[in-house]
Chains A and B, each alone.
Chain A
């Protein structure tokens, strides 16, 4: 089955700086890569996703890049703000119709 690895597990950045979270996947048949944000005491919430037919997608301060050849994808958050502090999960949807999540990155924005 699919295996998704996510790094780093924790990340602290100064407010206003950029944050980058990286994921790799194992199944070349995977074709959909969402990112979820989980705030304390809440369930994960989709923030952005990318499909295998594009290399980059941007939504305001958030962008995701995908390298199918290398089987890795990344989340980029620019101009970070305190409300960006949360746990972020990447995921990959494989050919068996399962969404496999990474282990999560705890992002802390330092005011």
Chain B
């Protein structure tokens, strides 16, 4: 299996621009997660989906962030408009178990976002 695939791996953009990060989970996994990693706050859960349905988005920082999962093999995380404080590495992860509860999370290699 190819694992969780994220794109782009690196994104540099200017403040105010729209950013779209993409994720393809492992085939057959029921749950998908978006995490943000920064030096200051570590790994933060932004949102997770179970069977393509958003279950908990309480970690989404503000209305500038939105996530969708139109089908079982694709998800996007969008930031509009982007701000310098959004600079971070964004990880997508998938899991066989609902909410990744007590099973393994498989992470992608991340998308490093820099907002100037």
Contacts and interface: CB of A to CB of B under 8 A. Distances in A.
B102 A46 contact: no
Contacts of B110: 42-43
B26 interface: no
Interface in A64-104: 89, 93, 97-104
A100 B93 CA distance: 14
A82 B110 CA distance: 24
A32 B101 contact: yes
Chain B interface SS verdict (over half): mixed
A49 B97 CA distance: 15
A43 B107 contact: yes
Given A43-B93, A89-B43, A102-B42, A51 B102 contact: yes
A10 interface: no
Nearest to B110: A43
Given A43-B91, A43-B109, A97 B104 contact: no
A46 B109 CA distance: 14
A97 B56 CA distance: 10
Contacts of A100: 45
A103 B56 CA distance: 22
Contacts of A98: 45, 56, 99
A31 B45 CA distance: 19
B100 interface: yes
Nearest to B50: A97
A49 B100 CA distance: 13
B25 interface: no
Contacts of B45: 98-100
A42 B112 CA distance: 11
A36 B35 CA distance: 14
A45 interface: yes
A42 B102 contact: no
A42 B56 CA distance: 25
17 contacts: A32-B101, A32-B102, A43-B4, A43-B91, A44-B43, A44-B91, A44-B107, A46-B104, A89-B43, A97-B99, A97-B101, A98-B45, A98-B56, A98-B99, A99-B105, A101-B42, A103-B42
